[in-house]
Amino acid sequence: MTTRTASAAIGLALLLPVAVCAAPDAMQTRYRAEGAGPFDATAGASAWQRGTSTEGETRSCSTCHGTDPRQPGRHPRTGKRIEPLAPSANPQALADEGNVEKWFARNCKWTWGRECSAQEKGNFLEYLKQL
């Protein structure tokens, strides 16, 4: 390996964790601009487990993602594995802002029957980041 590729690899290795954290941080900054915050990991954790009766069944985040976001989950109907959401266990989980917003939109409505507020989304991100 040349010195140049070595330093490029080290540079990339240093940049990666930054890139991973960047998306949730940027999202929280956006939520603050909408009037939300400060964000509370404990509130995020309890919302994660909170069951809500939607369409005749009790649903929570943990229905599909499991009670520990550092572990993989399982789609309740198709059985397909869902990769862990905690960045500490899966650096790709929250890496793409558009993807995270897509899943917030889909899953808040499926789970709670409504969209999540900026405050709730910020709390979830805070919880997942500190795991």
Residues at the site binding another protein, with contacts judged by CB under 8 A? 55, 75, 77-80, 82, 99, 102, 105-107, 109-110
Q: How far apart are CB 2 and another protein at their closest, in Å? A: 33
Bridge partners (DSSP) of residue 82 are 73
Single-letter code of the amino acid located at 43: A
Q: How far apart are CB 58 and another protein at their closest, in Å? A: 15
Q: Nearer to another protein by C-beta: 42 or 75?
A: 75
Per the listing, tokens 């409505």 go with 109
Q: Nearer to another protein by C-beta: 88 or 107?
A: 107
Q: How far apart are CB 102 and another protein at their closest, in Å? A: 7
Q: Nearer to another protein by C-beta: 2 or 78?
A: 78
Between CA 102 and CA 82 the distance in angstroms is 15
Range list of β-strands (E), 16-104: 52-54, 57-59, 73-74, 81-82
Between CA 97 and CA 103 the distance in angstroms is 10
